[in-house]
């Protein structure tokens, strides 16, 4: 009965809290979906670059020597086309490597920040609840989490 009275007295704060938390959840969901969409878009762009480079390789027979294991460079030195193609491949692979590294660092850093922020937020909310509502807040928490 006391809990119902407490809820009736604090309904404005509860509705306000539910609205704020709902807005944060909606924002987090939108950010997550946007991140997934960007990841898919970046993967498609990298795949298009990769396909375009190898399409160029197959269209130019002069570049076929790049994949051969035994080549006499004294008789036929490396051509400018071969040098350019290999440089493009290396740059493409380095771009993919840097992108994957950036995503990994971002996700790791985000996890660490998120856990720290959740802990700080939880402690501050508990402190604010105790300051504002006193012992009735403690009773509410006990009834909520002991069940």
Residue 14 has what pLDDT?
77
Q: With a threshold of 0.85, does the pTM exceed it?
A: no
Nearest Cα to Cα of residue 53 among 30, 84, 97: 84
Who has greater pLDDT, 41 or 139?
41
Determine the average pLDDT of the residues in 43-51. Answer: 86
**Residues of the domain holding 127:** 2-69+79-146
Q: How many structural domains compose the chain?
A: 1
**What pLDDT is stored for residue 143 in this prediction?**
54
Q: What is the mean pLDDT of the chain?
A: 77
CA 125 and chain centroid, separation:
27
DSSP string, 18-56: HHHHHHHHHHHHHHHHHHHHHHHHHHHHHHHHHHHHHHH
The yes-or-no verdict on residue 57 having pLDDT over 60 is yes
| Mean of pLDDT values over 106-124 | 64
Query: Going by C-beta distance under 8 Å and a sequence separation of 6 or more, which residues neighbour residue 14?
Result: 7
Distance separating alpha carbons of residues 101 and 92, to the nearest angstrom: 14
Instruction: State the pLDDT confidence band at 101, using cuts at 50, 70 and 90.
Output: confident
**Residue 83 scores a pLDDT above 70:** yes
- Kindly state whether residue 74 falls inside one of the protein's structural domains: no
**CA 8 – CA 111 distance, rounded (Å):** 38
């Amino acid at each position: 009965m006391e809990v119902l009275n407490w809820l009736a007295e604090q309904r404005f704060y509860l509705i306000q809290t539910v609205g704020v938390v709902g807005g944060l959840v909606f924002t987090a969901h939108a950010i997550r979906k946007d991140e997934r969409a960007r990841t898919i878009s970046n993967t498609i762009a990298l795949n298009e670059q990769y396909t375009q480079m190898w399409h160029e390789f197959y269209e130019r027979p002069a570049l076929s020597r790049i994949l051969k294991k035994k080549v006499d460079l004294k008789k036929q030195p490396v051509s400018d086309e071969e040098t350019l193609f290999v440089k493009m491949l290396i740059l493409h692979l380095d771009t993919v490597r840097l992108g994957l590294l950036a995503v990994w660092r971002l996700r790791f850093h985000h996890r660490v920040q998120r856990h720290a922020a959740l802990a700080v937020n939880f402690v501050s909310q508990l402190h604010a609840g105790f300051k504002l509502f006193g012992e009735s807040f403690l009773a509410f928490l006990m009834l909520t989490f002991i069940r």
